[in-house]
Every structure is written in C-alpha cells, then in structure tokens.
Amino acid sequence: MVSLGTFSLANASESAATPITNEIPAEITVMLNRLEEIKDMDKSSLTRSEKKDLRIEVREIKKEVRSSGNGLYISAGAIIVILLILLII
C-alpha cells in the first residue's frame, strides 16, 4: 500500500504543480519564457554581480508567478498530511 501511495503522490504533485497552458495570461508566459532564457544561459562567463542580479531576478519572477493566483500548488508534504487525515477518518 505504501508504494501505491507514493506513486499516486508523485502523480498528484506533478499534476497540481503543472498549470494548464491554455489559461496562462500573457504576462505570466513572458515571465516563464524569461526564466527559461536564464536557465539556458551560459553563466560561467558572467561576473559575480551579474550572477547575483540573475538570482534576484529569478526569485522575483517566481514570487510574482506564485502570487498571480493561477493554478493550485500543493507541496508533497501537504498531500501526505491530507492522505493521512483521510486514512484516519
């Protein structure tokens, strides 16, 4: 039973964290594209301050995307607690 619970947890967390692309507003799409650009960059040639600026930008973008209210994000720990509560009931 534990392996079945783990399998369903992985699927539930992936589906909860993956928003539907049809409903993403344009400004969020722009932010996600910028995150991909930063991820694909060759950061080895950047200076320390440039890397720091990129990290700050990534944090701000992620914070804005999370606070935009699009999608339902549930951590794996929250899913485990919910399942345990359901099993107790």
Q: Using an 8 Å Cβ cutoff, are 70 and 28 in contact?
A: yes
Task: Quote the CA–CA distance of 47 and 14 in Å, as a whole number.
Answer: 35
Query: Does 73 have pLDDT greater than 90?
Result: no
The predicted model scores a pTM of 0.50
Domain that includes residue 51, residue range: 2-88
Higher pLDDT, 75 or 72: 75
- Rounded to an integer, what is the distance from CA 54 to the centroid of its chain? 18
Pick from 32, 25, 35, 26: nearest CA to 70: 25
Query: What is the per-residue pLDDT across 22-66, written as a single tens digit (0 to 9) for each?
Result: 677 788 889 899 999 999 999 899 999 999 999 999 999 988 888
Residue written as token pair 């899913």: 79
